[in-house]
Structure 1
Amino acid sequence: MSDVTLCECFARDGLQHEPAFVPTDAKRALVERFAALGFPRVEATSYSNPKVVPQFADASALLAALPRRAGTLYKATCANPKAVERALADLEAGCGVNEISLLVSATEAHTQKNLNRTRAEQWANVEEMVQLARGRFRLVGTVSVAFGCPFAGKVDPGIVAEDVARFVALGVAHIALGDTTGLATPKSVAAMVARMPRAATLIAHFHDTRGTGLVNCVAAYDAGIRFFDSSFGGVGGHPAKVQYGGGHTGNVCTEDLVSLFESMGIDTGIDLGGLLDAARYCEQVLGRELHGRVTRSGLAR
């Protein structure tokens, strides 16, 4: 039994704003490789509107091609009830995911920019999605811009706590705190976690926009969080069509996070022997060098 539960997000959060479509066979090979490495949770795809995010137009085809593996849960993102209906159709066809994630933003401004609706409208969507999906999937809530908003500025931790409590009341026990533009600090992480309802199983989802992703993961671990999201090469990190300004906005880098945790004596359950090969394969798929430090330097010994 590992000390932490990692979710590999390359195939969804990592690819969502890549300009070139990644072929379905390549996505399948990526997800299979992640599962073989021992990731207990893999974010496989998104039921996004293909006209808005064409990268995931092949969501159902990918899931139909993926072999299931004991010990690995596949997750898909659902932004609205229609997306949940697609997830249910794939489930009925025998190729559904194990988890779906339901999204809210902690500010009105980000909700409008990202989802083109109000917070009240999105919460109504979430409630409908929960009713559709209850008992069929493990439900994972996400609170975006939990540590700060690129449009509204500072975010009241009390609002985040209310959103988490609202998810819990709906029966959504696993909730990710999304640091959408990398504004969290170890101090704010500790303070935020202390405000969260005890009934929630929190997931740390940090972005490395300002180089603080790894230290925030350590702060989250010290505060009691044991679920973490990351992406090979540190890719991904912002929704399509939403501009947050220049600079790297990617996720915490998986290979760096695994190396750090393991060097601290925190068992990740990941096959270290295949970790860097997987990182280099991700670079091969995207055709460029990614942001992983240990891919260049080697794992900490």
Structure 2
Amino acid sequence: MSDLPSAAELEEITGSTAPAAADIALGDCLLSEAIEQPLPSEARLSLVAALAAAGVRRIGLTSLRDPDRFPVFADAELLLRGAPRHPELAFQVPCPDLMAVRRALVAQDGGWGPDEVLLPIAATDAASRARFGEDRAARWASLAAMAEQAGGRFALCGSIAAAFAEGTEPAGVLADAERLAELGIGRIAIADDEGLATPPRVRDLIGWLHGGLPTASFIARFSDRRGTAIANTLAAIEAGLTEADAALGGAGGFCCAEDLAAALAAMGLGTGLDPAALRKAGLAAEQALGHALHSRVLRLEGGA
């Protein structure tokens, strides 16, 4: 018997767990970017249901990376077909290349495509070569072709990786954000993949971005490689951001969703998330992955 909710149950889940509006909207990218091991499709879809029950409204469902190179995402189309749909839920998938966008379009034509595709860029040549196998000039050409291919069929979200890498400056990150906006990408994640950001640098950069591109929506996306993800995310929120990405249990080095939600609640900021349901989702993620994750909230509430 499936553990997934029926359509009627999902209607109740998404209509009742979260307040009408949240101060800070948290998205979860466990299944799209933080997962590092193969999982049965049913287990992944059960985690989607758990996230929805917790009140998460933007969920990274899977990635459309080349399944030959990244077999952990080999069931991407199956997940897109099987994920429970509801107007209150938005499923995001990263599309790192043109072939990924074409796969998303095929899914869209079939009536089971993603709501939003994530189109990534990197702030430095070194990061661009490491992530995409091409320098920034070539990557920008690729990204322009991807945005054109998407043709307005999806909501587009850009991501600027290595935004705090050595040698980057706020003016350069702002210039990248402006180029994304020119391509019709008005939602932009500011990604600190290596955990190099500090709260003062975060506040400085957000000030530049809001001053230079006030019409864009920016998303905080910080790594916890150096234990600073929550501090940096809170600095971004204090500087005016209202969206942040995280992952259950801090999987994949991402900011921990449970701990971040608890910190925001302690500051009097609502996320629209049900703490008990979010904890249940974190425990489900640990069970599915077969090992403990890094949520301090889970350990404290679990009595460990």
Please report the TM-score for the alignment, with normalisation by the length of structure 1.
Answer: 0.91
Aligned residue for 1:204? 220
Identity value in percent:
37
Aligned residue for 1:240? none
Q: Is the 8 A contact 1:35 1:69 kept in 2?
A: no
Deviations 1:123-181 (A, max 9, x none): 11111111111321110000000011xxxx33122211110000111110100000011
1-structure distance, mates of 2:131, 2:162:
11
The equivalent position to 1:221 in structure 2, one of 237, 243, 259, is: 237
The equivalent position to 2:139 in structure 1, one of 122, 128, 151, is: 122
Shift in Å at residue 70 of structure 1? 2.6
Matched, 1:4 2:21: no
Matched, 1:193 2:206: yes
Aligned residue for 2:18? none
Letter in 1 for 2:170: P
Aligned residue for 2:176? 163
Matched, 1:141 2:161: no
Matched, 1:14 2:17: no
Q: Is the 8 A contact 2:53 2:277 kept in 1?
A: no
> What is the DSSP-based 3-state SS (H/G/I as helix, E as strand, rest coil) of the residue aligned with 2:62?
strand
Shift in Å at residue 230 of structure 1? 0.1
Q: Is the 8 A contact 1:101 1:140 kept in 2?
A: yes
* Aligned-pair Cα RMSD in Å: 1.1
Shift in Å at residue 97 of structure 1? 0.6
Unaligned runs of 5+ in 1: 237-249
1-structure distance, mates of 2:87, 2:265:
24
> What is the DSSP-based 3-state SS (H/G/I as helix, E as strand, rest coil) of the residue aligned with 1:71?
coil
> What is the DSSP-based 3-state SS (H/G/I as helix, E as strand, rest coil) of the residue aligned with 1:235?
helix
2-structure distance, mates of 1:187, 1:96:
39
Matched, 1:275 2:278: yes
2-structure distance, mates of 1:292, 1:168:
35
Unaligned runs of 5+ in 2: 1-20
1-structure distance, mates of 2:180, 2:57:
23
Q: Is the 8 A contact 1:140 1:172 kept in 2?
A: yes
Displaced runs of 4 or more, over 3 A: none
2-structure distance, mates of 1:105, 1:96:
26
Letter in 1 for 2:291: R
Deviations 1:184-241 (A, max 9, x none): 11100011111112122100000111111111111111100001000011011xxxxx
Matched, 1:154 2:174: no
2-structure distance, mates of 1:285, 1:194:
40
2-structure distance, mates of 1:67, 1:232:
19
Aligned residue for 2:246? 230
> What is the DSSP-based 3-state SS (H/G/I as helix, E as strand, rest coil) of the residue aligned with 1:202?
strand
Letter in 2 for 1:263: A
Letter in 2 for 1:133: A
> What is the DSSP-based 3-state SS (H/G/I as helix, E as strand, rest coil) of the residue aligned with 1:39?
coil
Q: Is the 8 A contact 1:168 1:199 kept in 2?
A: no
2-structure distance, mates of 1:172, 1:134:
12
2-structure distance, mates of 1:51, 1:109:
24
Aligned residue for 1:45? 62
The equivalent position to 2:197 in structure 1, one of 184, 189, 204, is: 184
Alignment of 1:85-100 (within 5 A): 85-100=102-117
Q: Is the 8 A contact 2:50 2:280 kept in 1?
A: no
Matched, 1:72 2:72: no
1-structure distance, mates of 2:28, 2:174:
25
Q: Is the 8 A contact 1:99 1:140 kept in 2?
A: yes
Q: Is the 8 A contact 1:173 1:199 kept in 2?
A: yes
Aligned residue for 1:262? 265
Q: Quick check: which one's helix share is greater? A: 2
Shift in Å at residue 38 of structure 1? 1.1
1-structure distance, mates of 2:174, 2:199:
18
2-structure distance, mates of 1:156, 1:261:
28
Letter in 1 for 2:33: D
Deviations 1:27-67 (A, max 9, x none): 11111211221111001111100122111111001110111
Matched, 1:60 2:73: no
Shift in Å at residue 78 of structure 1? 0.3
2-structure distance, mates of 1:156, 1:216:
17
Q: Is the 8 A contact 2:124 2:162 kept in 1?
A: yes
Matched positions, count = 279
